[in-house]
Amino acid sequence: MNPDINITIIDREGQCHDVKAPTDMAMNLMELVRSYELAPEGTIGVCGGMAMCASCQCYIQSDTPLPEMEMDEEAMLAEAFFVKENSRLGCQIPLTPELEGLKVELAPEEI
Amino acid sequence: MINTDILIIGAGPTGLFTVFEAGLLKLKCHIIDALPQPGGQLTELYPKKPIYDIPGFPEVLAGELVDNLMEQIRPFEPGFTLGERAEDIEKLEDGSFIVTTNEGTKHHAKVVAIAGGLGSFEPRKPPITKLEDFENKGVSYMVKNPESYRNKDVVIAGGGDSALDWSIFLADVASNVTLVHRRNEFRGALESVDRVKELKDMGKIKLITPAEIVDVQGNGHLDSVIIRKNNDPKEDFTLDTDYFIPLFGLSPKLGPISKWGLEIEKNAIKVDNTLDYQTNIPGIYAIGDVNTYPGKLKLILCGFHEATLMCQSAYQRIHPDKRYVMKYTTVGGVTGFDGSKKEAPKAVVKSID
């Protein structure tokens, strides 16, 4: 069985990318964006995935069921900028088969 | 002027370990870091989190690793310039360098090792268009001199420890303290949250949640902020204030180093990974998370390795005529600049009668 799923990512320039995402490597959405280099290194996943910066913030554009937010993520989003109702931190969303068809847009980079 | 052999920029794990490897080669080090304490990200971001891939340590807390490194390098008496950011570099005719910080402190070194990690930690600024117009004219991102707020109106924004702690502190200094946060929940230490609640009940802190500052106004100097409650523009209101202090933590920026004429790629400094992690400017090295080369991994353990090779190259550069071969610490021991000496105990020869 091919463990890859399909995810759509709109980068910070508005460009749409349909990518294959592995679900068997314990990767998360932030790492997926980095693996396809859809945002320049150093502008995403700055803290390495500890929910301690908001550089991987994205807006969820599909009604795909997502894991619930944990306290760390909620607290970080409370301090992040450009936050919307549908904001999540990519590093807190593990890639699982349930995410098939997920569509997200990367939030702007904090200056 | 501070004089040293190797000037290290960045007091993270890679920068700290450089002191050890340089010390074995009898080279003196001085470290500059923008943060007030050594340890870099490890102490600033995640001191209580475990790391599992330091060779020989199945598990170590980030803060403990920094404590251990500080202990390991102590005999080599590194100098520190903390709380200052390396701003300018000048290469002298003899090939040495002068690095000046934002506070004007000058460092003269034969070799510069940039171990700057993700960059220097700078305050995160909320995206308010006119904010920068009022910087130092009512808007500041840290509290440097609390007395300047005496009998003034102060608005603080943020929900972490620094926002809570400064609200508590300034409640006794300023005439009015207003704390604005996007959520009703705060993520600071429990004592601080409780104390803010007490001060609020006593009327010494005004709490506005869930809300955020969406605009700043004034003529030359800040005189008011616009506060949006419940994320609803219809609930916007103006609050007169002398000062606005957004406290949203720190985020790393490559900063002035990116203007030193070094080759930059992917927000990192390109180095020669086939040899010694030297940059395109001879005598300036870049080690640890701050550098990039084919196959680069931003791991502490890789930073340690890079620091070690870099020091050998720095030795050759500083002492081009001297011959040297690397010696195991088990064989040679560790002789500190402080006169201390650690060495393996000699084997005891004893005959059996």
B185 touches chain A (CB under 8 A): yes
pLDDT at B210 over 90: yes
Give the pLDDT confidence of A27-66 residue by residue, as tens digits: 999 999 999 999 998 899 988 999 988 999 999 999 999 9
As a whole-number percent, the residues of chain A with pLDDT over 70 amount to 98
Residues B165 and B279 in one domain: no
Is position A58 within any domain? Answer: yes
**Rounded to whole angstroms, how far apart are CA atoms B297 and B276?**
16
A53 within 8 A of A78, measured Cβ to Cβ = no
CA distance B143 to B223: 18
CATH number at residue B60: 3.50.50.60
pLDDT confidence of residue B130: 94
Query: Residue B290's pLDDT is what?
Result: 97
- Grouping H, G, I as helix, E, B as strand and the rest as coil, residue A35 is helix
Number of independent structural domains in chain A? 1
Q: How many CA atoms lie within 13 A of B81 on its CB side?
A: 25
Inside any domain, residue B296: yes
- Distance CA(B287)–CA(B303), nearest Å, equals 6
Where is pLDDT greater, at B268 or B350? Answer: B268
Alpha carbon distance B54, B14 (integer Å): 12
* Residues B149 and B229 occupy one common structural domain: yes
B248, B275, B301 — which closes off a domain?
B248
Residue B57 within a domain = yes
B127 touching A (Cβ < 8 Å): yes
The partner residues of B156 in beta bridges, in order of sequence, read: B179, B245
Q: Determine the structural domain holding residue A32 and report its residue range.
A: 5-106
Helices (H), A1-111: 29-35, 71-79
Q: Name residues whose C-beta falls within 8 Å of residue A107's C-beta, 6 or more positions apart in sequence.
A: A54, A57, A58, A59, A82, A83, A87
Residue B182: its pLDDT value, please? 92
Is this prediction's ipTM beyond 0.90? Answer: no
Verify that B238 and B277 share a domain, yes or no.
no
Region B258-263: mean pLDDT is: 96
Residue where one domain finishes, among candidates B217, B248, B279: B248
pLDDT at residue B140 greater than cutoff 90: yes
**Would the CB atoms of B127 and A111 count as touching at under 8 Å?**
yes
pLDDT for residue A110 = 83
Asked if residue A45 is part of any domain, the answer here is: yes
Residue A38, both tokens: 């859809």
pLDDT at residue A2 greater than cutoff 80:
no
Angle, vertex CA B277, rays to CA B274 and CA B282, nearest 5: 110
Query: Cα–Cα distance between B274 and B296 in angstroms, integer?
Result: 12
Cβ contacts of residue B84 below 8 Å, gap of 6+? B32, B33, B34, B101, B102, B103, B105
Q: Is residue B352 part of a domain?
A: no
Chain position carrying tokens 């609020």: B200
**Does B143 lie in the same domain as B291?**
no
Q: Are residues B90 and B7 in the same domain?
A: yes
Q: What average pLDDT does this structure show over B32-58?
A: 94
Residues B121 and B250: beta-carbon distance below 8 Å: yes
Is A111 domain-assigned? no
Give the pLDDT band (50/70/90) at residue B187: confident
B35 and B94 co-located in one domain: yes
Nearest by CB to residue A42, choosing from B41, B127, B267, is B267
* B295 touches A at CB < 8 Å: no
Q: Is the pLDDT of residue B144 over 90?
A: no
Residue A81 falls within a domain, yes or no?
A: yes
pLDDT for residue B200 is more than 80: yes
Per-residue pLDDT reduced to its tens digit, B296-333:
999 999 999 999 999 999 999 999 999 998 989 999 99
Output the six-digit token pair for B227: 């506060």
Report whether B317 contacts B349 (CB < 8 A): no
Using DSSP, state whether A56 is helix, strand or coil: coil
- For B332, other C-beta atoms within 10 Å of its C-beta total 12
Q: Which domain holds residue B132?
A: 125-248
HEC profile for chain B? CEEEEEEEECCCHHHHHHHHHHHHCCCCEEEEECCCCCCCHHHHCCCCCEECCECCECCEEHHHHHHHHHHHHHHHCCEEEECCCEEEEEECCCCCEEEEECCCCEEEEEEEEECCCCCEEEECCCCCCCHHHHECCCECCCCCCHHHHCCCEEEEECCCHHHHHHHHHHHCCCCEEEEECCCCCCCCCHHHHHHHHHHHHCCCCEEECCEEEEEEEEECEEEEEEEEECCCHHHCEEEECCEEEECCCEEEECHHHHHCCCCEECCEEECCCCCCCECCCCCEEECHHHEECCCCCCCHHHHHHHHHHHHHHHHHHHCCCCCCCCCCHHHHCEECCCCCEECCCCCCCCCCC
Nearest CA in chain A to B289: A42
Given a cut of 80, whether residue B119 has pLDDT beyond it is yes
Q: Is B283 on the interface with A (CB under 8 A)?
A: no
Specify the pTM: 0.87
Considering only alpha carbons, which residue of chain A is nearest residue B126? A81
Of B290 and B187, the structure prediction assigns the larger pLDDT to B290
Say yes or no: B116 and B259 in one domain.
yes
Band of pLDDT at residue A1, cut at 50, 70 and 90: low
Query: CA-to-CA distance for B88 and B274, rounded, in angstroms?
Result: 28
The letter for the amino acid at B313 is S
- Rounded to the nearest angstrom, the minimum Cα separation between B228 and chain A is 14
Residue A49 backbone phi and psi in degrees, to 5 = 110, 25
Total domain count, chain B: 2
Nearest Cα residue to B206 out of B246, B170, B232: B170
**Tokens representing residue B331 in the block:** 């064989």
Q: How many Å apart are CA B186 and CA B237, to the nearest integer?
A: 23
Same domain? For B117 and B170 the reply is no
pLDDT of B249? 87
Q: In the predicted model, is pLDDT for residue B266 greater than 90?
A: no
Q: Is B342's pLDDT higher than 90?
A: yes
pLDDT at B212: 94
Q: Nearest C-alpha of chain B: how many angstroms from A55? A: 10
Q: What is the CATH number of the domain that holds A27?
A: 3.10.20.30
CA distance A89 to B307: 33
pLDDT value at residue B134: 96
Verify that B232 and B265 share a domain, yes or no: no
Residue type for position A42: G
CB within 8 Å: A50 and B46: yes
Give chain A positions within 8 Å (CB) of B185.
75, 78
**Residue A64: inside a domain, yes or no?**
yes
The mean per-residue pLDDT over the stretch B135-143 comes to 93
**Residue B353 lies inside a defined structural domain of this protein:** no
pLDDT at B265 over 80: yes
Residue where one domain finishes, among candidates B248, B265, B288: B248
